[in-house]
Amino acid sequence: MRPSTDEFVRNRPPSYGEFAERPKFAVRLLTEDDLPWMVDLGQRRYSIAFDAFSTEMWFRNNVLKSPLIFFPARTDHAFTICMIITDAWLPGLRICNNLLLNSEEGAVWEEITLMRAAVEWARKRQCAEYRIWSDTEVDLSAAAARVGAETTAVRHAVKL
């Protein structure tokens, strides 16, 4: 006997655009053991100007030693490093800046998972705002919108 249309609709998996469950990726903190992978990914995904040596020193000597200021996290195919800043003229206002957000080719969903984890970390640290400052050639607008980020006014800069 052939199933009815109602039964077929009830038993089919949700399609794109429906309220399907979000993909779940395990998020964990970055450690020193992740450095070779992180540096390799940075060299492949950022420009030729990526400075692996300085990045490694910064990660070892600043990020890992300041857990109240930095949020270094990763999934299987992506990583992020966020930092809390305060302005001298507004010392009570904490802002979480996403400094690095990087993933293997095709792993943008893991970046979104990391952004959500960073937003939650920023809330726990009582930040007033979460900003994405990751400087990549990839447009992060669509991914940022998935976590509720809005485009802010462009600041002025002189390219040196």
CATH at residue 32: 3.40.630.30
Which of residues 86 and 159 earns the better pLDDT score? 86
Owning domain of residue 57 = 25-146
Q: Is residue 69 part of a domain?
A: yes
Least confident range from 39-48, 120-129, 147-156: namely 147-156
- The CA distance from 111 to 140, in Å, is 10
Q: Is residue 154 part of a domain?
A: no
Q: Is residue 138 part of a domain?
A: yes
Mean pLDDT of 120-137: 85
CA angle, 113 as apex, 54 and 106 as ends, to 5°? 75
Q: Is residue 37 part of a domain?
A: yes
Q: Is residue 9 part of a domain?
A: no
Least confident range from 6-15, 99-108, 131-140, 150-159: namely 6-15
Most confident of 7-11, 18-22, 96-100, 138-142: 96-100
pTM for the full model?
0.77
- The CA distance from 4 to 10, in Å, is 10
Sign of the alpha-carbon dihedral angle for 116, 134, 81, 131: negative
pLDDT number for residue 151? 73
Give the rounded percent of residues in the chain with a pLDDT score beyond 70: 77
Q: Which of 125, 143, 146 is nearest to 82 (CA)?
A: 125
Q: Is residue 132 part of a domain?
A: yes
The total number of structural domains in the chain stands at: 1
Q: Is residue 108 part of a domain?
A: yes
Q: Is residue 1 part of a domain?
A: no
- The CA distance from 109 to 86, in Å, is 30
Flag whether pLDDT at 104 surpasses 70. yes
